[in-house]
Amino acid sequence: MSEREGPSFRCTPGAIEPRQPSHWAAMLVGGCHGSLAVEGMHRNDGPSLFSLTQFAREMRKAPTRSEALLWAQLRGRKLGPRVRRQHVLHPFVVDFFICGHQLAIEVDGRMHLGQRERDRARDAHLALIYRVRVLRIEAELVERDVLAAIAIIRAAL
């Protein structure tokens, strides 16, 4: 194990980001962000902040159709407050985040139909740790009527 020593600190890999409890990994592995589990990662390890940031960057490059439609209406402060997309709230990545209002916006496609319980647990975790409200909008609604989705977001602010 490599380590770096400085005049007033000692830093070893893993010392900054401790292992995560197993229930976090259980929510991630096999969930909508199941691709975060990589070879060599223990099943009880949560993803590192670095791997989540890299994952979020990749997600920004390849949005779903509904995320792209919604982002076109939210970007550039069109809504008023600044909106971030694919924002990391360790150990999760939320689709959109409005920091000033502590509001996470999730666009739920068909894959979320079978994981409602996992989504509720994830939302509860975000509320407990980050005091974030999670607004879930169906992808079908965004694709059918993006302005209705924007009205729902405005009402949540």
For the segment 4-29, what is each residue's pLDDT rounded down to a tens digit?
333 333 333 333 333 333 343 334 44
Q: What is the Cα–Cα distance from 99 to 105, expressed in whole angstroms?
A: 11
pTM: 0.67
Mean pLDDT of the chain, nearest integer: 76
Sole residue written with tokens 């709230």:
89
What's the pLDDT at 109? 83
The Cα-based distances of 87 to 104, 105, 117 in angstroms read 9, 10, 22
Percentage of residues of the chain with pLDDT beyond 90: 47
19-28, 71-80, 136-145, 147-156: least confidently modelled range: 19-28
Average pLDDT over residues 147-155: 95
Bridge-partner residues for 137, per DSSP? Answer: 107
The Cα-based distances of 154 to 45, 74, 89, 94, 139 in angstroms read 37, 11, 22, 18, 17
Strands (E), 8-109: 10-11, 84-89, 92-98, 103-108
Q: Decide if pLDDT at 101 tops 70.
A: yes
Average pLDDT over residues 36-51: 62
Q: Give the three-state DSSP class for 56.
A: helix
Per-residue pLDDT reduced to its tens digit, 49-98: 888 888 888 888 989 999 999 999 999 999 889 999 999 998 889 999 99
Domains located in the chain, CATH noted: 46-156 (3.40.960.10)
Q: Decide if pLDDT at 34 tops 70.
A: no
Which one is predicted more confidently, 119 or 23?
119
How many Cβ atoms from other residues are within 10 Å of residue 43's Cβ? 9
